[in-house]
Amino acid sequence: MGAWFAGDPTEGDRVYRRLLHVAAGISIIYYLVPVQILPGLSRAALLLIALLLVLSLEACRLAGWLVLPALRLHEERRPASFVYFGSAVVVALLVVPEAYAIVAIVGTALVDPLIGELRASPRGARAYPAVPLVVYAAIALPILSCLGGFPWASAAALAAAGALLAVAVESPQSRHLDDDLLMTLVPALGLWALGSAVLRFT
């Protein structure tokens, strides 16, 4: 995989992590699932069951009963990033209004690995934080306008705010925090608060 995507066989784990991260954005298909899937089984319950399975898998790994590929060294003795991201996605989908949740989830899925790639080279580092900010805002703008129902000017202002929040919290200074968790929940909740204020005064 590393040779195919990055021209270097030793880059397989990094490429694998990036692809999984981007693929997490598909979780927004949650909104296309019927609210009631079967009698006694709602889509929210199915989502919680999926999270429980992920947490159980991670518990087995931390207990030493399971080995998962492509984890980073700092994840050996703490919950892996996919657990934080999955938990944040579930909270966003269940709690936050749709437009803000989609912005936060897709933004994290695409922009977080982009930042990692930019930081991997001196040339890429020069594009940080401008490129991630622009990409995040470009993702957020049409979602906030089309799904959120905001006029383009308001949607642009909210998109810029969401981008600033996401990029600002992408690199936590504490080992007890994870950027996937922060990049998802902070913009989701921040946009919800800001969007509610915009709607209140318009």
Mean pLDDT of the chain: 89
Q: What is the pLDDT of residues 91-143, one digit of tens each?
A: 999 999 999 999 999 999 999 999 988 988 888 889 999 999 999 999 999 99
**Cα 146 to Cα 129: distance, rounded to the nearest angstrom:** 26
Phi first, then psi: give them for residue 42, nearest 5 degrees.
-90, 165
124 and 172 Cβ atoms separated by less than 8 Å: no
State the residue range of the domain holding 85: 2-200
Residue whose tokens read 């957020």: 140
Encode pLDDT of 151-181 as tens digits: 999 999 999 999 999 999 988 666 667 889 9
Q: Is the pLDDT of residue 12 over 70?
A: no
The answer to whether the CB of 147 falls within 8 A of the CB of 98 is yes
Threshold 0.75, pTM exceeds: yes
Question: How many domains does the structure of the chain reveal?
Answer: 1
